[in-house]
Every structure is written in structure tokens, then in C-alpha cells.
Structure 1
Amino acid sequence: MKKRKVELVVISDVHLGTFGCHAKELLLYLNSIKPKKLILNGDIIDIWQFRKRYFPKSHLEVIKKIIDLSANGTEVIYITGNHDDLLRKFCDVKMGKISLVNKVVLNLDGKKAWFFHGDVFDASIQNAKWLAKLGGWGYDILILINRFLNWWLLKFKREKFSLSKKIKNGVKKAVKHINDFEEVASDLAIEKNYKYVVCGHIHQPQIVRKVNRNGTCLYLNSGDWVENLTSLEYHQKRWKLHQFRKEDYANLYQEEIEKNVKTEFQDLLAAITITTPKKGN
């Protein structure tokens, strides 16, 4: 496959080290592009849910691919998120073409673009981190169960079904949370005179024009690589929301991606099994 040249690519919420991560799909996407700049907008490695028992080869290959991109000239900017917040201790560190920051402002063809993960606006994380971690663990299990369910649906030629999206769309509070997040981020960007504000965190891919009485900005969210499999691309003064489709990678896409769900389900059972202590211990 011929690599597409792109000026800027933004990905977020990959959650390497979790059962829900689509690392193989992400690797196919990264192998198909040649970006000048790659922004990793938070929650790339899921330190919150890291397990010694589960970090597949495909997850390691994603990390290796990112390092290879930097070695071949791509500038990589890693913006920390809440699931990889331990890295915030090392912010402003630069190694070759890879830099670690909490946020960044870039000049894109004369317009200021503000990039940050977005967890700063999430009250549940700021005030009850333990609850957010518990919710993240439950979400990971839900995603894996959903993937196992979809494997069976596809086997019987039925359409895929998203449990988490169904829940989000059916709960007014969740919809309001997403809308509030977008409004707060865009209002603050307009106040700071940024023309673009680019976030992650809420796993809701979006490109939308926001307007208030003080001005306007373009709000963008790169989505995630758990459910939506999306990224943002900026090229020739235009933004595009790119969504992974396996038909675009027909020559590379392997059946083991679907079959791997069985293995992941077994890994889940192994990871959550509680070992019963022997008598007398």
C-alpha cells in the first residue's frame, strides 16, 4: 500500500494495555500514512488499567511504530491524558523527535490551534479519581463483551451492535456531558483567540463550528481506537475526520483480527480470576 503524505495527524484514547484497544487496526493505519507531525492526544498507554498478564505483541508494535516514525523524520508530540497521567511528572522532556507535554499550541497556516486531552474539564476525574478508575475498568469489560458479541453477529451475517453507544445515546446525562464538554472547550478557545481547539477524552469524534457572542472556533475531537477507530488529519489547510474501514486495507487485513476476540475473551477470564489460597497457608 502506498503511504499517504499528511501534514498533521492526531490520534487519542488508544488505551494500549486494555482488552478494548484495536491495536492491529491502528498499526495498519499508521503503516498507511507518512505524517510530518503526529500528535498523540492523551490516553495512549492506559496506565490505570495496566496488567502484567495482558500486553499483546500488537500493542508493543504500535509503540515501536511510533518510535520508527520519529526516527524517520516525523515529529511526535505526546500530550498526556488522565489514563497516562503518571507521565505528567516528566512533562517538557524531549528525546530526539519525540516530546512529552501537557498541552501545545501550534500555528497552522496562520491560525492558532490548541491541543490538549480534555480531562481537566471532567469533574468525576478531578473530584473522585477512584470512581473514574472503576468506571474505566467496567468500560473495558463492556467493550470486550461487545466485541465478542459482534464476532457472533458477524458470523451469522448480522449487523454490529455497540452496547456502550446505545447506553450513551440513551442516557440524557451522558449526552449532556458531551455537549457541555464541547461548549466549555470551545468557549475557552474563543476567549483565548484560538481558531481550532483539538481534544480527546470523551471518545466522541467530531468536527463542528462553535459560535458564541465573543467569536467562533472550530472544535475537533479525535475520537478513540476502542470503539470509533478514528483520527484527525490536517492537510492543505483542511481538517478531515478519518475513520478506519477494513475494506480500505483489504490486502493487509487479516482474519485473525476477528478471531483474536476469542483469545482476548480468554485472556480477560484469566486476568480477573482470583487465585484461591491453599489450605494451611
Structure 2
Amino acid sequence: MKKRKVEVVVISDAHLGTYGCHAKELANYLASIKPKTLILNGDIIDIWQFRKSYFPKEHLKVIKQIINCASKGTKVHYLTGNHDEFLRKFSDTFVGNFSLQDKLLLELDGKKAWVFHGDVFDASVQHSKWIAKLGGLGYDYLILLNRFINWCLNKLGKEPYSFSKKIKSSVKKAVKFIGDFEITATDLAIEKKYDYVICGHIHEPKIKEVENKFGKTLYLNSGDWVENLTALEYNNKRWKLYRYSNNPIQTIENEENDNFDMENLLTQVYFNSARK
């Protein structure tokens, strides 16, 4: 099936290597699109909770799709987050069509987009990292339990239920944190005269225009691939929020070769981009 052409795609918070990651769905989505620019906005690989015993083939397929994109001409920007902060020691690395950075400034049709993960605003990550890691582990098991319960609900013909979304919407501190996050990001973007500010981190997909006495900006959050299965897409001077459905445009089960040589693909990325 023909792939959809997209100018810019932003995904974040895939948390590959954890039980909660919807890797199969993410790989299907990546296989269905042909972006000019792909931005991986942090927490793609969850190094905090990485287990040698758990990195199934569905998770490897996501990496394969990303490498395939880069080898075929897509500009891939990997921006670091808190769960993959180990990669920050290698920031500002550029190899062919692939770059590893902490933040990105992008010009889109004469407008400036400021892209970063967003954990810089999270005090628990910056000052009490062990608490944040413990919370991340609890969140992972909550998502796993939620997935099992939704499986049971599906068998009973009931609608799925999200524990984490219920907690976020009912706990005052969670609601306040999300609100403070958005205000901080947009205030800084307006101060810096950026037209778009694009974040991840809080697993809350959103597109919202924000205005204060100094100006206005468009706040965008790409959501995640644990609960929401969302991405941001930019085409024809407009942003939209993509939400994965149970009937994706294209699946990857029918690809000619299910196995792949990581070293060979990395070589393709480098030499294909070098020819351009």
C-alpha cells in the first residue's frame, strides 16, 4: 500500500523496552508514512527501566522503521528526554540524515518551531531523580495492569478504561502540574518569539493556541505510545494530531524480510545520505 507523504512528524514517549509500550502499533504507523522530517522528541528508548531480558522483536521493528526512514532520505532528529538522558553525553552528533540533540529549532514556511522534550520543567526529575525513577516503574506496572483489565473488558464487550487518565484528571496536583508545564513552555516560547513550541514528557496530546500580554504561540504536545498512541503531523502549513486506530493504513507483518541487519542498515543511512 502506498505510504502517506508527510512534511514533518513528531513522536515522543514510546518507552521502548517497557511492558507498557505499544511498539507494534508504532511500527505500523511508521511503516504507513513517508515523512520529510521525523522528530523523535525524547523517551523513545526507556533506558531508566531497560531490561536485557525484555526487548521483543516488535520493539526492534520500531528501530528498523526509524533507520529505514533515514536511509531513504528522511531527516531524523532524535531529541533526548529524561528516560533516555544517558544519550545526552553524545548530544550534537550528526551522521548522515540522523542527528542526536537536546533541542531543535526548525523553520516551517517562515515560522519558527522550538522543539524539546520538556523534562527540564520537571523539578522531580531534576532534583529527586530516584523518586522519579520509582514513579516511572510504578507507572509502567499500572499500564500493564490496565492493559490486562482492558483485555477483560473487551471480552465482555465493554469500553476500555484508563487508570492513568483518571488519576491525572482527578488528582489536583497532577492537573496543576500539567497546567504549569503548559504555561511555562508557552511563556518562554512567546518571550523568544517562537511561533510553535512542541513538547512531550507529560503524555498529554494537545494543540492549543496560547496568548498573553506579550504575544501568542501555538502549544503542541505529541502525547505518547503508551496510553494515547498519538503523533503530531505537519502538512500544508497546518498541524494536526494523529491518533492511531485499530485499523492502520499499513501493517508491517507482510514485509518481505522480518529480520534485519542493524549494522547494514546504519551503513545504508550513512552512504545514502552522503550521496545527496
- How does the TM-score come out when normalised to structure 2? 0.90
- What residue ranges of structure 1 are gaps of 5+ in the alignment? 255-281
Task: State the match for 1:90 in structure 2.
Answer: 90
Q: 1:95: how far off?
A: 1.4
Task: State the match for 2:50 in structure 1.
Answer: 50
Correspondence 1:128 to 2:128: yes
- Give the aligned residue type for 2:136: G
Task: State the match for 1:22 in structure 2.
Answer: 22
- Give the aligned residue type for 2:127: N
* Contact 2:26 2:225 (C-alpha < 8 Å) held by counterparts: yes
Distance 2:61 2:245 in 1: 20
Distance 1:138 1:114 in 2: 31
Map of 1:214-225 to 2, 5 A cutoff? 214-225=214-225
Correspondence 1:69 to 2:69: yes
Q: Which fold has the larger relative contact order, with Cα–Cα distance below 8 Å and residues 6 or more apart in sequence? A: 2
Q: 1:2: how far off?
A: 2.0
Q: 1:253: how far off?
A: 8.9
Map of 1:83-122 to 2, 5 A cutoff? 83-122=83-122
Superposed CA offset, 1:51-73 (max 9, x none):
01110001011011101110000
Task: State the match for 2:157 in structure 1.
Answer: 157
- Give the aligned residue type for 1:226: V
Task: State the match for 2:188 in structure 1.
Answer: 188
Distance 2:160 2:252 in 1: 18
* Contact 1:246 1:253 (C-alpha < 8 Å) held by counterparts: no
Task: State the match for 1:200 in structure 2.
Answer: 200
SS of residue matched to 1:247:
coil
- Give the aligned residue type for 1:46: D
- Give the aligned residue type for 1:141: Y
- What residue ranges of structure 2 are gaps of 5+ in the alignment? 254-276
Cα 1:253/1:107, change in 2 over 3 Å = closer
SS of residue matched to 2:76:
strand
* Contact 2:124 2:131 (C-alpha < 8 Å) held by counterparts: yes
Cα 1:158/1:253, change in 2 over 3 Å = farther
- Give the aligned residue type for 1:104: L
Correspondence 1:241 to 2:241: yes
SS of residue matched to 1:245:
coil
SS of residue matched to 2:106:
strand
Distance 1:101 1:69 in 2: 18
Superposed CA offset, 1:29-83 (max 9, x none):
0011000000000000000000011100010110111011100000000000000
Q: 1:84: how far off?
A: 0.2
* Contact 2:31 2:251 (C-alpha < 8 Å) held by counterparts: no
Task: State the match for 1:268 in structure 2.
Answer: none
SS of residue matched to 1:246:
coil
* Contact 2:31 2:252 (C-alpha < 8 Å) held by counterparts: no
Q: 1:213: how far off?
A: 0.5
Structure with higher Rg: it is 1
Map of 1:135-146 to 2, 5 A cutoff? 135-146=135-146
Distance 1:253 1:205 in 2: 25
Distance 2:3 2:181 in 1: 35
- How does the TM-score come out when normalised to structure 1? 0.88
* Contact 2:10 2:231 (C-alpha < 8 Å) held by counterparts: yes
Task: State the match for 1:168 in structure 2.
Answer: 168
Q: 1:183: how far off?
A: 0.4
* Contact 1:14 1:43 (C-alpha < 8 Å) held by counterparts: yes
Distance 2:248 2:79 in 1: 29
Distance 2:87 2:196 in 1: 25
Task: State the match for 2:268 in structure 1.
Answer: none
